[in-house]
Amino acid sequence: MTTTRHALIIANDHYVGEGLKKLRAPVPDATALAEVLRDPQIGDFEVQVVHNASADVMRRRIQGFFTDRRRDDTLVLHFSCHGLKSESGELYFAASDTEPRLLDATAVPAQFVRGCMSRTRAGRSVLFLDCCYGGAFSRSSCGVRASGDANVLEAFPKDKPAGGRGWAVITASNAMEYAIEGDELTEDSAPRPSVFTQAVVEGLGTGEADLDADGEISLDDLYNYVYDHVQERNPHQTPSKTAEMQGELYLAHSRRGRIKIAAVPSPPALREALESDNVFIRLGAVLELRNRLQNESLEIAEGARQALEEVARNDIRQIADEACRALREVKLAPSAARLDFGPVPKGSAPQVKSVTMNGPPLARHCVAQPTRSWLRVDPAPDGLRVCVDPAAEGHLSGDIVLKGVADEAVIHVEALVGPAYEPTSPGRPGSEPPPGPAPWQHEPGRSPSEPSVPDRPPPHGEMTVVEPSHRPPSVPEPPRRPPPVSGHAPGREKARAWSGTHRAPALAGAALTLAGTAAVTLVLAVQAAVAAVVERSREGVYGNIEDNIREHGALTPLAVSLITAAVALVVGALARYDLEARRDRYDRRAATGTRTLTSFAKGLAIPSLILAVLASVAYLLGSPNW
């Protein structure tokens, strides 16, 4: 996707006009939608946001947005504001200075927006309307009716576009309903997106709107997803759509869909061989399908892959195993599962590394989706070119998700971006001495024999050369050390970096292991205790419950359960603390995994600890009397 994709978001939540109440949704609407549309890995739109503008400013920005566009431009306009209906049934969009009695002068008519969309030369234009129609103002307001049909889509008749190739309008609700902002507004309620825009943001951001799982979210995909999502949240609100468009309009990339290839079915003779009663004939058919997997034609190879998957599911074990071995050949196999760019000077040219995709053509065919904005992936003849943009400073950690027809793979990427320093040289024109006195120079007021201590250590990686005349003859020249080689940090530094980025997940995994151990040992202790009680009942008056408990070994697993459950809770708490204290060191996947593991560990450890304590108390109180 390129910069020919532009979006304008208009969000008005504060109104000076009498009768127009303040809305809470437009601000979070604009923020959330702008973020997901601007993300280069999702929408890759150039986004403008207009907040609480007057009617005159709104008209200027809207007309300017649609003017001077090209044929290959895609435009998205989003309204989050009050929608008003005049006495004659015409639709208007409220500005911050709108007066319900003077809609023509102080509001933006829907026909004005429709005219701008009709005259633009952009190839595709999409309008999203998330407006509170009619109910946005008090019923006592004069000049505008607060009930009845707003006739939203009638303001945008379905006709052939004049300038571009197509346009579409999607509304939060149909003509007879109001758009819902969620629960009732209270004084302490925090702003949050409306039901409609929240569905748009979630569908695009998570990729769940990619209903056909083809890796792209089309306009129809998004509308169908939003329709179902809004109806589920509020059955009284029905999104609507009208469109006049040729072909598909893809609004965003999907982070969840796999590649789909139109498969060419296997030849009839091969299909008959797969259905034969003779085991050897079916085995020969599997070998032929394995050969077809290597075909340069992706359609033929995909047809063979689908046939092999059916064999692997339904045939006898010998033939199914052969089919599984063939299918493993088309799994994604990048040459590297981890790329470490090492130290990278900030502001330098983008650093590039290559990844080779191994296997037959079907295994090399995939879509690469970076999870960070500083990562860029370009196709190469034999694989991928991974680029790191050193614009942001610090320890960068992200993933590249590879999605193929059969499976997924992840390439982890790390880089350490720091400030760029250039060495100074004696004869270099314009070179300046480093700040602060050199180690062999003395500061004013300090004895020459007393070593000078700089105010701060020089930045890491900086190399300084001093003129020989600046050194006293009694002080030998300090030995020069070669600069560190990029990408070859000492083992101790690598170990420290690993512990800093994997500590919380490791602790969470340990907590879950301890919690599971506590639950298992508690079950063993309960089983032993039950056996001891049964045996005590059989012995009658001559029995002793303490002897039975010890004989069946119930105390040892009970003590282990107590200890491991308590330790699991402590380790889980340490994992959550480390995650919060070092939030910048963990990516979203590591943070989500840590929270999930600690939640499971807590769910196992707390019941195990409580039951173990109760069992221990019951044993201590009851054993002397039984």
pLDDT tens digit string along 506-555? 888 898 899 899 899 989 888 888 887 787 777 765 566 777 777 778 88
Query: Hey, which bits of 52-123 come out as E strands?
Result: 74-85, 91-94, 107-109
Q: What are phi and psi of 342, to 5 degrees?
A: 70, -160
Instruction: Categorize the per-residue pLDDT at 76 as very low, low, confident or very high, splitting at 50, 70 and 90.
Output: very high
* Residue 17 in tokens: 């006009």
What is the mean pLDDT of the segment spanning 355-364?
90
Backbone phi and psi for residue 267, each to the nearest 5 degrees, phi listed first: -60, 150
Percent helix, strand, coil in the chain, to 5, is: 40, 20, 40
Q: Name the one residue in this structure whose structure tokens are 């992840």.
A: 410
The rounded mean pLDDT for the chain is 77
For residue 146 the two structure tokens come to 């607060």
What is the CA angle 402-501-487, rounded to 5?
75
436: confidence class by pLDDT, cuts 50, 70, 90: very low
- Report the CATH superfamily, name and number, of domain 338-418: Cadherins (2.60.40.60)
Alpha-carbon distance values, 447 to 443, 444, 451, 452 (Å): 8, 8, 8, 9
Quick one: tokens of 46? Answer: 């150039």
Q: How many Å apart are CA 512 and CA 505, to the nearest integer?
A: 11
DSSP state of 441: S
CB 30 within 8 A of CB 49: yes
Q: Does the pLDDT value for residue 57 go beyond 90? A: yes
Share of the chain above pLDDT 70, in %: 75
11 vs 121: CA distance, rounded Å: 25
CATH architecture of 5-184+238-248: 3-Layer(aba) Sandwich (3.40)
pLDDT at 60 exceeding the cut of 70 = yes
Distance between start and end Cα atoms, the chain: 78
Rounded distance, CA 65 to CA 127, Å?
12
* Count of helices and strands (H, E) across the chain: 15, 17
* pLDDT score of 176: 44
Q: Are residues 85 and 91 in contact, defined by beta-carbon separation less than 8 angstroms?
A: yes
pLDDT tens, 279-316? 899 999 999 999 999 999 999 999 999 999 999 998 99
